[in-house]
Amino acid sequence: MQVHDTIDSFRKALDAERAGGRTVGLVPTMGYLHEGHLSLLRRAVADCDVAAATIFVNPLQFGAGEDLATYPSDLEGDSRLAAGAGVAHLFTPATSEMYPGEVLTTVTVAGASEGLEGGARPTHFAGVATVVAKLFNIAGPCRAYFGEKDWQQLQVVRRLVTDLSFPVEVVACPTVREPDGLALSSRNVYLSTGQRRAAPVLYRALLAGRAAAGAGAEATAVEAAMTEVVSAEPLADLDYAAVRDDRLLIAVRFGPTRLIDNLAMEE
Amino acid sequence: MQVHDTIDSFRKALDAERAGGRTVGLVPTMGYLHEGHLSLLRRAVADCDVAAATIFVNPLQFGAGEDLATYPSDLEGDSRLAAGAGVAHLFTPATSEMYPGEVLTTVTVAGASEGLEGGARPTHFAGVATVVAKLFNIAGPCRAYFGEKDWQQLQVVRRLVTDLSFPVEVVACPTVREPDGLALSSRNVYLSTGQRRAAPVLYRALLAGRAAAGAGAEATAVEAAMTEVVSAEPLADLDYAAVRDDRLLIAVRFGPTRLIDNLAMEE
């Protein structure tokens, strides 16, 4: 596996792969890789001639008071995991490489960015869309793999690609869960033992929402069913439980840690 | 010359050129080609293995009440001129091809977009940056040629390319002028005979500004020198005369027609 610190090196390496007739799979991440990321990497390795991953904790997508400074990181472990998954090119730029000066250009995606995460984190998806546009421009034509765990982000990226005609095929990959249903997230490490024990409440609430929907409940009653499950968990503080486009979406706080999850309304 | 109506056809044609080892020059235009455009086309033909041009009157960059509906057009004449200049690929998409649905994605470039044209036309540069990003994504790695006539647009595009790492080298080409100094513009056809006679006042004002700057005047005095020249022309209504980054910039209305021009402060 080649590790690239510079835009130029990563771009040239992928250009050379394509010039050799090989298709490129791209997995953009913020690092601290877990089995969810690894499922994306393995899928890219399986689908494409060469797989590339990026590890960049993008400051643009963190709001004031969010966890940019404490976001977990383990570049050495990540490199080992990526190499083990069969990644050929790993891009690990410093912030100064990605953003050498002030970033004056912003990409916004109306519609998909609004409400839910966009409501709780007003500048988040502009930060995501901007860095994804930049990573796509650096990586060039590819298949790009995103987890369904960040459902709204997936919709933002899909719309970005369609509206701006990026030469990228977006591939969505299912959420990977712990045996107790907790969706894998780099932020799970923030949880105390008690919070960790309570955290599967997100998935239980989603399942309750799905059951209510299956029994014919309207959206507001489905949302109420999810809310009720979270209310019964003392350590959990509900941010939202919502139905959008036949998807159930939920965000819950455990102290300072905020987790999200989602599920198709119908099995 | 191949004429492409679809994104897919144009993209594949340029991909094939690059796959054959040929460099691509791109000239994005709104059509109604004049000698200014032709100078860009000839430069692209001279610099690159193949030259591509796009003709698309981009609705996103026109504000309410602007001249989108009446913007001049002559696709047949343009095709002849492009072929004559040596263009290999001409992309002439319908609006429905570029924007089949609502455009929810917007690219904004702070700083460069502010004031001057951005002040007079608040959504203009977001429309420009969005369509240029899309055209770059469709065309792929290339040199892209832009006229200095639209100086602020050139700065917006340069910043867009830098911030989002487009695989594009922006090449600026000098403004082409009529013998009396009027900068070529597709909008010059809107001018009445009297207005046309008065229109070189923009260039005269720029030359007066340069002379003042050469004599050691401060920016406000340079702007005053330009303003004074325009004031003496009864058919001309000054929008702005400004100094920015060692450049003199001017916008003048002749009835409903608005013309812009600019000049380096030092020869």
Domain enclosing residue A10, as ranges? 2-173
Please report which confidence band the pLDDT of residue A257 belongs to, taking 50, 70 and 90 as the band edges.
Answer: very high
Average pLDDT in the A139-158 region? 98
Torsion angle of C-alpha atoms A73, A152, A90, A130, degrees rounded to 10: -100
Domain co-membership, A52 together with A87: yes
Contact, A247 vs A209, CB < 8 A? no
Question: Which of B125, B152, B173 is the C-terminal boundary of a domain?
Answer: B173
Helix (H, G, I), strand (E, B) or coil at A131: helix
Domain co-membership, A131 together with A204: no
Domain co-membership, A34 together with A60: yes
Tell me whether residue B181 is in a domain.
no
Annotate A100-135 with b (16+ C-beta within 10 A) or e (fewer): eeebbbbbbbbebbeebbbeebebbbbbbbbbbbbb
- Name the percent of chain A lying above pLDDT 70: 100
Structure letter (DSSP) for residue B179: T
Average pLDDT in the A70-87 region? 98
Instruction: Name the domain count of chain B.
Output: 2
Q: Do B159 and A134 touch (CB under 8 A)?
A: no
First and final CA of chain B: distance in angstroms?
39
Tell me whether residue B197 is in a domain.
yes
Domain co-membership, B19 together with B91: yes
Domain co-membership, B127 together with B259: no
Q: Do A108 and B106 touch (CB under 8 A)?
A: yes
| Under-50 pLDDT residues of chain B | none
Chain A residues in contact with B160 by the CB 8 A cut-off are 105
Tell me whether residue B180 is in a domain.
no
Domain co-membership, A163 together with A42: yes
Domain co-membership, B43 together with B88: yes
Question: Which of A173, A194, A225 is the C-terminal boundary of a domain?
Answer: A173
What is the pLDDT, as a whole number, of residue B267? 84
Domain co-membership, A38 together with A167: yes
Tell me whether residue B192 is in a domain.
yes
| CA–CA distance, B28 with B148 (Å, rounded to integer) | 14
Distance from CA of B149 to the nearest CA of A (A): 22
Global pTM value: 0.97
Question: Which of B117, B138, B173 is the C-terminal boundary of a domain?
Answer: B173
What is the pLDDT, as a whole number, of residue A267? 84
Owner of token pair 């770059």: B136
Instruction: Identify the CA nearest to B227 among candidates B253, B259, B205.
Output: B205
Domain co-membership, B68 together with B167: yes
Average pLDDT in the A3-31 region? 98
Q: What is the DSSP string of B35-95?
A: HHHHHHHHHHHHHSSEEEEEE---GGGPPTTSSTTT----HHHHHHHHHHHT-SEEE---H
- Which CATH number goes with the domain that contains A217? 3.30.1300.10
Q: Do B105 and A129 touch (CB under 8 A)?
A: yes
What is the pLDDT, as a whole number, of residue B210? 98
Residue A56: how many CB atoms within 10 A of its CB?
19
Domain co-membership, A13 together with A136: yes
Amino acid letter for position A135: L
Q: What is the ipTM of this complex?
A: 0.96
What is the pLDDT, as a whole number, of residue B5? 98
Please report which confidence band the pLDDT of residue A95 belongs to, taking 50, 70 and 90 as the band edges.
Answer: very high
Contact, B49 vs B24, CB < 8 A? yes
pLDDT digits (tens, 9 = 90+) for B166-199: 999 999 999 999 999 999 999 999 999 999 999 9
Distance from CA of A12 to the nearest CA of B (A): 11
